[in-house]
Structure 1
Amino acid sequence: MDDTVTTTAAQVLWDAARRYPDRPCVTDLDAAGGPATLTYAQLVERVAALAGGLRARGLREGDRVALLQHNSHAYVESYLAAIAAGLVVVPLNVRLVRDDYLHMLTDSGSRLLVTTEEFVSRVPELGTVAGLDLVRVDTGHGLAGLATEGAPVAAPAPAAGGNPASLMYTSGTTGSPKAVVLSHDSWRSVADRAVEVLGMGGDEVTLHVAPLTHGAGFLLLPTLMLGGHNVLCRSYDAARTLEIFVEQGVTGLFVVPSMIRMMLDARPVGWSVPPSLRRLYYAGSPIDPETMRDATEAFEGRLVQSFAQMESPMFFTVLDQEDHRRILADPASPLVRSAGRVLPGVELRIVDDADEDLPTGEPGEILARAPQAMSGYWNRPEDTAAVLAGGWLHTGDIGHLDGDGYLHIVDRKKDMIVTGGSNVYAREVEEVLAELPAVKEAAVIGLPHRVWGEAVTAVLVPAGADRDSDAVIEACRAQLAGYRVPKQVLWVDDLPRNAYGKVLKRRLREQFTTAG
């Protein structure tokens, strides 16, 4: 662990407030009573008081504080105050359910939960977790009361760069969510890389419509570093987002691909991208080629995509704006299915099951080393040792590098299907299925088969009334090798997803294995 004192997120706020005290720092568009803005000086004052209140509660360096709130002033204040008090933040996704919250609060050993009456009413058991204190920001004593419980801190608590800053829970598609330990240095590395890769400047206006608890939260710190303006929405509405671009002079934002599709579909007649918008930054899941091409045209090439994972957030590879413009000029370009080039300072390897390097173009597991990598999983030494074996992060993603150095992600390693001794990557079959007019959504899984070992199975949500399985299989035969063609097609009304929007293939396998 690095014992060198580092610049924490709270210190970044204090430094920015000294330079830009009167600049708008955070605007909450959905605050009670209407939009409300805090300047840098005002936010520091509130965070200092709240950090003093946290210390007065008896919380000590390294204690965990969980945050369960929608995007709001209160979330930003709680987050920065916890860091200023030397505590570790545990952000909780607002779309989770009772068992998720109880697991995460217990697993993290959180001492305090800062939340709202909405979540306490929805999950009364939050108040019964052993050793957990609750602060409801919107009722009773609230944050304002907590801020009066102690003397405001004069400056943020110093911290070693390797000390934990946050526990970020993974999506848990293959089991109970694990807490990724991100240090202060990890957060700062992500922020520095965001400024560089996204071309962020001093007049930045960052719109947060995705949850601050995850992807969007990684743009908060670089915006503060630059003295920029953070604009918060409680939740995402595509049509409203297009209006906010103009109203607030938004320069950039983070979204996931499904949100891009919603914006494209919500555009009014005659809409054009506003001049202020410099980039639409997206990550988190694959983007279908049609959406990528449509968005590149609609937003005049101002798109940036990155690939990484929570264990080493946001930036391993980047498909930049110039790459997107090349795709627009040549719709058949292989870049449309690429995750971009490896960034300087990041090491990437493609390996086989023995961790031996594979030749260019041959798919294998993606291993990575980067300065923002996690310290490990919270209280899971065996899982940590496995995923960081040999000093490399084993991502669990299968991909290959082409001759130009672009990464192409094929699938998740655990989604690979072995049928008749041949490997089938579910994602390559899903990409074919997604292009069929009769298919709205597709998930490909392997189900037990007495001859083939696993049978390639397509689980589809129909786009209309047509559920012609034979037609789907014939369409696949025209584009896929025989062993990759689905052996059967199953139709469902919707695909099971977790709170992060990822398809729960484990649940599909369990459901249809039992049904069979």
Structure 2
Amino acid sequence: MPFTIKRALQWWARERADELALSVDGAPCTFAALYDWSARIGAFLQARGVRPGDRVSMVAMNSLSYAALIFGVMRIGAIGAPINFRSTPSEIAAAFEALTPSLVLADEERMAAVRDAAGDITVLSLHEIEALRECPSVAIAHEPAPDDAAFIIGTSGSTGRAKGVVYSHRTVMTYAAEFAITQPLCGAGSRVFSPGPFSSSSGYLLLNEFIALGATLFIESQFRPERALDLLVGEKITTFQAAPIFFERIAALPAFAGADLSSLHFAQAAGARVPPALLRTWQDKGVVLRHAYGSTEAGGGWAAQLDTALSAPEKCGRGGMFTEYAIRGADGGFARAGETGEILVRSACLTPGYWNNPEATCEAIKDGWLHTGDIGLMDADGNLTFVDRLKDIIISGGLNISASEVESVINEVEGVSEVAVIAARDADFGETPLAIVHGDASRFTVQAIIARCTEKLARYKTPRYVVIEPAPLPRLPSGKISKPALRERYGDAGARLQKVR
């Protein structure tokens, strides 16, 4: 019997046919309806020439039609290749060049930008997917294999060139099984709030994971803290996984103090260091907020077990049943307990590799270990503590931003000699880009820098803070700009600098 997402969906469509599988912005869909709808979508895609192994890209905000499309693509052996809905036409075009999709679907708000970028690629509206919801049933003969690619998730690298992380049916199902075995209350019948966009692993992976487990997912097209708290309370959510900023914004609401969160069994924060005060705030509500570590390439994230979350909440735990951590020391070998070094991950959930990029795959995965580019340390019990990122990545609202990508755009502005982009603390998004620029200030303005970024980059990547330095930026002995020095200099930028947009 194939160990696939399709088989899991088929099982729950029979065993929990009339139970709620999904609710997106309040629009419901049962397991049986999702299974039937996804078959009609698959037949629709096949009629338009989509074959097993073809990439189907989506550029849209979360919606029920989008979720059904994800399973329709999977049913016929095609590969889902979502693109961030905030992307500019040039970013979309670059994604199309890397992914070479045979078909693209977009929502109305992004249709013009997608058509501008698509060239000869066929572009369809998500409205056509919605129209298939109540059509006659069809049968899909294709049966995916466990090691077939199911979807590709883009990830920002420190070089600025995005890479596509491949997820196979086996890696997704192994991740789901590992989670269900170690957290049995989070499986079939659990109620999950998932705020991540489908263009990220926090959206696309979690959708597949929890549908495969027979859970009910509550998903929103955009995160609003008031709505999130209403869902947690009103829908008696049992599982909530998100970046720390989402937990922070919910906790900041006046209504949080009186909210009944007694149903929330498993709360996981990942993607950035979790402030101790945030851990205490949720624990005061009776919710143990578990610090987690993971990455797109690792196939997911793993939270601390309850003993660690209670006794040492700053630690990320020991990995999973089929996942282990190690620390690479300065000599290239495994570091001893308490020594800081690069975090390594070895897992049955590990990506098979980057899409059409064997060189990057070989560089990242060596001897079965993923070299994450993050810094951490482990204690004698194997509990990991995340320290910092080696990779030059800013995480804003749970989305990764390559500092190098933003720097390359600002360097195009006439008169700019050097630029460094670092993270500034932000109350709404956790982090936001801060650009520190040096050059001939008579030839450029802050407004010109923002205009160039707005033209070339998605809005969330455009710096909210810009500093023009009269002196050259500090350098390391290697000649590289010293970002540690700049981070120290501008550690309080969010408090003392004025936002430029």
TM range (shorter): 0.7 to 0.9
Matches within 5 A, 1:285-364: 285-298=272-285, 300-315=286-301, 317-326=302-311, 335-352=312-329, 355-364=332-341
Q: Is the 8 A contact 1:167 1:179 kept in 2?
A: yes
Distance 1:310 1:494 in 2: 32
1:23 paired residue among 10, 15, 19: 19
Q: Given the alignment of the two structures, is residue 413 of structure 1 paired with residue 386 of structure 2, yes or no?
A: no
Q: Given the alignment of the two structures, is residue 208 of structure 1 paired with residue 198 of structure 2, yes or no?
A: no
Please state how far the C-alpha of 1:179 moved relative to its aligned partner. Answer: 0.4
Q: Give the aligned residue type for 2:382.
A: G
Distance 1:118 1:296 in 2: 40
1:398 counterpart residue number? 375
CA deviations on 1:77-131 (whole Å, 9 max, x unpaired) are 10000000110111222233332221112201111112111111345413x333x
Matches within 5 A, 1:184-195: 184-195=169-180
Q: 1:440 to 1:195 in 2, by over 3 A?
A: closer
Q: Give the aligned residue type for 1:255.
A: A
Q: Is the 8 A contact 1:54 1:146 kept in 2?
A: no
Q: 1:147 to 1:381 in 2, by over 3 A?
A: farther
RMSD: 3.1
Q: Is the 8 A contact 2:155 2:165 kept in 1?
A: yes
- 1:6 is paired with a residue of what secondary structure? coil
Please state how far the C-alpha of 1:265 moved relative to its aligned partner. Answer: 0.5
Q: 1:447 to 1:393 in 2, by over 3 A?
A: farther
1:237 counterpart residue number? 224
1:160 counterpart residue number? 145
- 2:321 is paired with a residue of what secondary structure? coil
Distance 1:287 1:444 in 2: 24
Q: Given the alignment of the two structures, is residue 106 of structure 1 paired with residue 94 of structure 2, yes or no?
A: no
- 1:273 is paired with a residue of what secondary structure? coil
Distance 1:461 1:257 in 2: 19
1:136 counterpart residue number? 125
Normalization by structure 2: what TM-score?
0.77
Q: Is the 8 A contact 1:301 1:324 kept in 2?
A: no
Q: 1:37 to 1:397 in 2, by over 3 A?
A: same
Q: 1:336 to 1:224 in 2, by over 3 A?
A: closer
Please state how far the C-alpha of 1:355 moved relative to its aligned partner. Answer: 2.7
Distance 1:232 1:306 in 2: 21
Q: 1:147 to 1:201 in 2, by over 3 A?
A: closer
Please state how far the C-alpha of 1:463 moved relative to its aligned partner. Answer: 5.5
- 1:101 is paired with a residue of what secondary structure? helix
Q: Is the 8 A contact 1:46 1:77 kept in 2?
A: yes
Please say which structure displays the higher CA radius of gyration.
1
CA deviations on 1:280-338 (whole Å, 9 max, x unpaired) are 2221222222222222223x1332332111011223x4223443333xxxxxxxx3432
1:381 counterpart residue number? 358
The more displaced of 240-249 and 58-67 is 240-249
Q: 1:441 to 1:87 in 2, by over 3 A?
A: closer
Please state how far the C-alpha of 1:493 moved relative to its aligned partner. Answer: 3.3
- 2:131 is paired with a residue of what secondary structure? helix
Please state how far the C-alpha of 1:71 moved relative to its aligned partner. Answer: 1.8
Q: 1:146 to 1:388 in 2, by over 3 A?
A: same
Distance 1:156 1:71 in 2: 28
Distance 1:156 1:252 in 2: 35
Please state how far the C-alpha of 1:208 moved relative to its aligned partner. Answer: 2.5
Report the identity percentage: 25
Matches within 5 A, 1:470-485: none
1:456 paired residue among 474, 479, 485: 485
In the alignment, structure 2 segments of 5+ residues that lack a partner are 394-423, 437-471
Q: 1:342 to 1:223 in 2, by over 3 A?
A: closer
Normalization by structure 1: what TM-score?
0.75
Distance 1:318 1:229 in 2: 21
Q: Give the aligned residue type for 2:15.
A: R
Q: Give the aligned residue type for 1:129.
A: G
Please state how far the C-alpha of 1:173 moved relative to its aligned partner. Answer: 4.6
Q: Is the 8 A contact 2:174 2:348 kept in 1?
A: yes
Distance 1:68 1:404 in 2: 44
Please state how far the C-alpha of 1:217 moved relative to its aligned partner. Answer: 3.0
Please state how far the C-alpha of 1:156 moved relative to its aligned partner. Answer: 6.0
Q: Give the aligned residue type for 1:202.
A: A
Q: Given the alignment of the two structures, is residue 493 of structure 1 paired with residue 499 of structure 2, yes or no?
A: yes
Q: Given the alignment of the two structures, is residue 38 of structure 1 paired with residue 29 of structure 2, yes or no?
A: yes
Give the aligned length. Answer: 426
- 1:206 is paired with a residue of what secondary structure? strand
Distance 1:216 1:314 in 2: 11
1:486 counterpart residue number? none
- 1:294 is paired with a residue of what secondary structure? helix
